[in-house]
């Protein structure tokens, strides 16, 4: 029996260990997975969604202005002395115990067309806040894309730093062997040591940069700090031809929610003007009420009086504005000014958009040309470093010259990957402005 208990415990322990291992495996996140997760969990996106929900609730309240209201009232009064009976309206001089019950309703038939304009304005607000929600999603998409590409750059930079450290360690070993053989001075050996230490320091820095970029991306995704997280390796980057600037701008004007929201803002201001002008027109309302009551001045009991005193009222109420201390006039003038301001804000938004697109377009062309030039320089520096290593092995090159050759090659490598990922970023930006999905 004891043997079976021990075997069971061992089995459970192995199972738990296996589960822990499975749970601790890092999930590899692609850019698409990061974007989809952020769209569902990012705080800014959720706040934009809640703001839209508020406008929908306000729209429902505005539509209900077309409906009649209904209120009930009840009162119990005790009067002593000379007074008017609240039920019979007779003047009496005695104690009165009275009860009043009633229902009242009012329906606005016409209010300068203000209700219709308020409802149309409420619908426009829903459309506008829907666009604001899309804008929030676009902003987090761009932010995630930028952080992800920066991570790819930092990740490749680590590979370069690791390779440089490995090469410098081998060079240090060769220098030590040549020093022991008496073929070089100790300065050349210490130069090799210094280069190894420098490359180790650079590797630590590149790993730290990667960790910080990774933390930034996790925070944008609203992931807990202890979440196991790693991004996918980048496939071979094939860049498309940079599209025409005016074509990108034209498509962006049609697709971007912030521009369409600006256009709706002009329409909202125009509805404000229509609502304000409605203040010059009369208001017509339909009113009605039901009521009954009981008074102690009558000889009938409570039930009979409630039946006898039951009354109904139906009427029309017309309110014609004559002078309201220029309140309506001021509201109309303010609404006209707001229309002009909304048009200026739209024009400024279109201007800012063109500046962003032209900047991204120019940077895309520049970085792509830089990448092509950096690739040529990298290949040339790589070949030069290879030849320098051969010369160093034959004793025809000093350690200092070898280090200079290695540093030159490293710089060209870093210039190339920097231009490559900048070019990738700006190409993705142009794709985004054209309304296309961002994909690596």
Which of 55, 28, 258 minimizes the C-alpha distance to 139? 258
Reported as a single tens digit per residue, the pLDDT across 379-400 is 999 999 999 999 988 888 888 8
Q: Provide the angle, in degrees to the nearest 10, between the axes of the packed helices 327-393 and 245-255.
A: 130
Sequential DSSP letters for 351-389: HHHHHHHHHHHHHHHHHHHHHHHHHHHHHHHHHHHHHHH
| Helix (H/G/I), strand (E/B), else coil: 111 | strand
Reading the block at residue 154, the tokens are: 């930092």
Q: Residues 202-218: what's their mean pLDDT?
A: 94
Higher pLDDT pick, 181 / 19: 181
Reported as a single tens digit per residue, the pLDDT across 267-288 is 999 999 999 999 999 999 999 9
Does residue 227 surpass a pLDDT of 90? no
Q: Residues 241-256: what's their mean pLDDT?
A: 94
Quote the CA–CA distance of 157 and 410 in Å, as a whole number: 10
User: What integer pLDDT is reported at residue 26 of this predicted model?
Assistant: 54
Sequential DSSP letters for 251-285: HHHHH-HHHHHHHHHHHHHHHHHHHHHGGGS-EEE
Reported as a single tens digit per residue, the pLDDT across 307-353 is 999 999 999 999 999 999 999 999 999 999 999 999 999 999 999 99
b/e for 306-319, b at 16 or more Cβ within 10 A? eeebeeeeeeeeee
User: What integer pLDDT is reported at residue 118 of this predicted model?
Assistant: 97
Architecture of domain 28-65+127-281+327-434: Up-down Bundle (1.20)
Q: At 317, phi and psi to the nearest 5?
A: -125, 125
Name the residue ranges covered by the structural domains of the chain.
28-65+127-281+327-434, 74-111+283-320
CB 99 within 8 A of CB 293: yes
Which of 16-30, 174-188, 207-221 shows the lowest per-residue confidence on average (mean pLDDT)? 16-30
User: What integer pLDDT is reported at residue 94 of this predicted model?
Assistant: 85
Percentage of residues in the chain having pLDDT higher than 70? 94
Does residue 90 surpass a pLDDT of 90? no
Q: Residues 284-312: what's their mean pLDDT?
A: 93
Handedness of CA 326, 328, 329, 330 (dihedral sign): positive
CB 360 within 8 A of CB 252: no
User: What integer pLDDT is reported at residue 348 of this predicted model?
Assistant: 97
**Using alpha carbons only, how large is the chain's radius of gyration in Å?**
40
Q: At 27, phi and psi to the nearest 5?
A: -85, 135
Quick one: pLDDT band at residue 13, thresholds 50, 70, 90? Answer: very low
User: What integer pLDDT is reported at residue 17 of this predicted model?
Assistant: 44
- What is the bridge-based pairing of β-strands 283-295 and 96-111? antiparallel
Torsion from C-alpha of 43, 45, 49, 55, nearest 10 degrees: 100
Reported as a single tens digit per residue, the pLDDT across 32-51 is 999 999 999 999 999 999 99
Does residue 25 surpass a pLDDT of 50? no
User: What integer pLDDT is reported at residue 16 of this predicted model?
Assistant: 43
For residue 386, what are the CA distances in angstroms to 64, 163, 174, 379? 80, 14, 15, 11
Reported as a single tens digit per residue, the pLDDT across 56-70 is 999 999 999 999 999
Reported as a single tens digit per residue, the pLDDT across 401-411 is 999 999 999 99
Q: Residues 88-99: what's their mean pLDDT?
A: 87
Global pTM value: 0.84
Q: Residues 142-151: what's their mean pLDDT?
A: 95
Quote the CA–CA distance of 419 and 370 in Å, as a whole number: 6
Q: Residues 7-22: what's their mean pLDDT?
A: 44
- pLDDT averaged over the chain? 90
Percentage of residues in the chain having pLDDT higher than 90? 77
Quote the CA–CA distance of 348 and 354 in Å, as a whole number: 10
């Amino acid at each position: 029996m004891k043997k079976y208990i021990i075997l069971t415990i061992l089995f459970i322990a192995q199972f738990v260990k296996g589960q822990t291992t499975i749970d601790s495996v890092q999930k590899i996140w692609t850019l698409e997975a990061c974007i989809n997760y952020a769209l569902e969990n990012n705080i800014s996106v959720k706040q934009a969604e809640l703001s839209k929900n508020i406008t929908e609730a306000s729209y429902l309240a505005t539509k209900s202005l077309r409906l009649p209201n209904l209120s009930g009232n009840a009162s119990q009064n005790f009067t002593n002395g000379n007074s008017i009976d609240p039920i019979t309206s007779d003047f009496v001089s005695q104690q009165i115990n009275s009860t009043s019950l009633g229902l009242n309703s009012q329906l606005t038939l016409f209010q300068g067309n203000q209700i219709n304009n308020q409802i149309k304005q409420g619908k426009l607000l829903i459309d506008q806040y829907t666009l604001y929600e899309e804008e929030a999603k676009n902003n987090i998409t761009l932010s995630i894309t930028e952080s992800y590409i920066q991570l790819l750059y930092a990740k490749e930079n680590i590979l370069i730093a690791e390779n440089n450290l490995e090469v410098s360690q081998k060079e240090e070993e060769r220098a030590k062997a040549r020093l022991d053989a008496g073929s070089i001075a100790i300065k050349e050996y210490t130069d090799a040591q210094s280069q190894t230490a420098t490359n180790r320091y650079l590797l630590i820095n590149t790993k730290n940069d990667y960790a910080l970029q990774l933390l930034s991306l996790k925070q944008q995704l609203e992931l807990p700090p202890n979440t196991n997280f790693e991004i996918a390796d980048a496939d071979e980057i094939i860049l498309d031809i940079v599209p025409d600037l005016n074509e990108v701008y034209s498509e962006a004007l049609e697709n971007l929610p912030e521009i369409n929201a600006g256009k709706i803002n002009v329409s909202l201001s125009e509805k404000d003007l229509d609502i304000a002008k409605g203040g010059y027109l009369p208001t017509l309302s339909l009113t009605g009420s039901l009521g009954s009551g009981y008074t102690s001045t009558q000889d009938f009991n409570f039930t009979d009086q409630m039946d006898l005193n039951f009354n109904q009222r139906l009427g029309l109420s017309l309110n014609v504005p004559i002078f309201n201390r220029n309140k309506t006039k001021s509201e109309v003038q303010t609404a006209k000014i707001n229309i002009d301001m909304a048009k200026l804000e739209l024009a400024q938004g279109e201007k800012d958009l063109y500046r962003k697109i032209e900047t991204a377009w120019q940077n895309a062309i520049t970085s792509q040309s830089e990448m092509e030039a950096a690739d040529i320089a990298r290949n040339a520096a790589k070949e030069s470093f290879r030849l320098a290593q051969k010369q160093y092995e034959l004793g025809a090159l000093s350690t200092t010259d070898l280090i200079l050759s290695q540093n030159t090659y490293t710089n060209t490598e870093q210039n190339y990957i920097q231009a490559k990922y900048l070019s990738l970023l700006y190409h993705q930006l142009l794709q985004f402005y054209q309304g296309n999905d961002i994909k690596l």
